[in-house]
Amino acid sequence: MRRKLVIANWKMNGHRSMVDQLLAGLQTRLSELSVQVVICPPAVYLDQAQALLKGSPISLGAQNASEHVTGAYTGEISAQMLREFGCDYVLLGHSERRSLYGESDAVVAQKTLAALKERLTPVLCVGESDAERASGKTEQVVSRQLSAAIEAVGVEAFSDIVVAYEPVWAIGTGNTATPEQAQAVHYHIRQQIASLSEKIAADLTLLYGGSVNADNAAELFAMPDIDGGLIGGASLDEQAFTAICNAAG
């Protein structure tokens, strides 16, 4: 179902007392939510976050999941394990996973399938690099990343998937895409899905991520095909993240 959604990606940041403080603060500030909010802390804090968010409208998500169900995969965490720790969402194919840990389109597609089997909502991240944009390949790259997932799970499964457009050049750089640049790619993504199913495309929740902050969130979220945001750096700041959530509401 298409909905307003803001997701916090804490990445590899935080410690026990910060998790306590930030989640307590956010629960107070976001008590009257008109937007769905999801927090993705580092995996070791999921247990703590699950306990703190009990009874809260804020949902819990993970930053990654294995494509495998169980077995000899040292260091990996399965979708089933994430479910057991209260996760409803999981980020998949984040550009840092793709570029730093070599996750291919095919692996991200298998992860998407594994997450869906455990009834987690995959947040499928797609986006082009600086060089790809400069050479006019933005739509081609995003379509390729999306097609790999569509081939693995089928377009119907996109009724249970959120897509996040995150241009790599905008992540953690302060160089946000303009609302028009972001809207153009969001429109392209929705059209790609619409070419297979207009109904699924109309219902698809599409997030923008890349240096969203309290000052630029409202104009990005006002674009017709942007349903909310995937927020990195600014999600660690209680005040800024609250402002971003309110901008989406």
Q: Which of 96, 103, 132, 166 is catalytic?
A: 166
Does 245 engage in binding with ligand PEP (CB under 6 A)?
A: no
Q: Which is nearer to ligand PEP, 99 or 159 (CB)?
A: 99
Q: Which is nearer to ligand PEP, 9 or 64 (CB)?
A: 9
Does 145 engage in binding with ligand PEP (CB under 6 A)?
A: no
Separation CA 196–CA 243 (nearest Å)? 36
Q: Min. distance of Cβ 89 from ligand PEP in angstroms?
A: 13
Q: Which of 94, 96, 103, 186 is catalytic?
A: 94
Using left for φ > 0, alpha for ψ between -120 and 50, and beta otherwise, residue 102 falls in: left
Q: Min. distance of Cβ 161 from ligand PEP in angstroms?
A: 17
Does 209 engage in binding with ligand PEP (CB under 6 A)?
A: yes
Does 210 engage in binding with ligand PEP (CB under 6 A)?
A: yes
Does 67 engage in binding with ligand PEP (CB under 6 A)?
A: no
Q: Min. distance of Cβ 110 from ligand PEP in angstroms?
A: 21
Which x/- pattern, by CB under 6 A, does the window 2-31 give for ligand PEP?
-------x----------------------
Q: Min. distance of Cβ 212 from ligand PEP in angstroms?
A: 6
Over the chain, what HEC string results?
Answer: CCCCEEEEECCCCCCHHHHHHHHHHHHHHCCCCCCEEEEECCHHHHHHHHHHCCCCCCEEEECCCCCCCCCCCCCCCCHHHHHHCCCCEEEECCHHHHHHCCCCHHHHHHHHHHHHHCCCEEEEEECCCHHHHHCCCHHHHHHHHHHHHHHHHCHHHHHHCEEEECCHHHCCCCCCCCHHHHHHHHHHHHHHHHCCCHHHHHHCEEEEECCCCCCCHHHHHCCCCCCEEEECHHHHCHHHHHHHHHHHC
Query: Among this protein's residues, is 166 annotated catalytic?
Result: yes
Q: Which is nearer to ligand PEP, 122 or 233 (CB)?
A: 233
Query: Among this protein's residues, is 68 annotated catalytic?
Result: no
Is 56 in contact with 27 (CB distance < 8 Å)? yes
Does 172 engage in binding with ligand PEP (CB under 6 A)?
A: yes
Choose, by CB under 6 A, the member of 107, 150, 200, 230 that binds ligand PEP.
Answer: 230
Catalytic (active-site) positions: 94, 166
What does the binding site for ligand PEP look like in residue numbers (CB under 6 A)?
Answer: 9, 166, 171-172, 209-212, 230-234
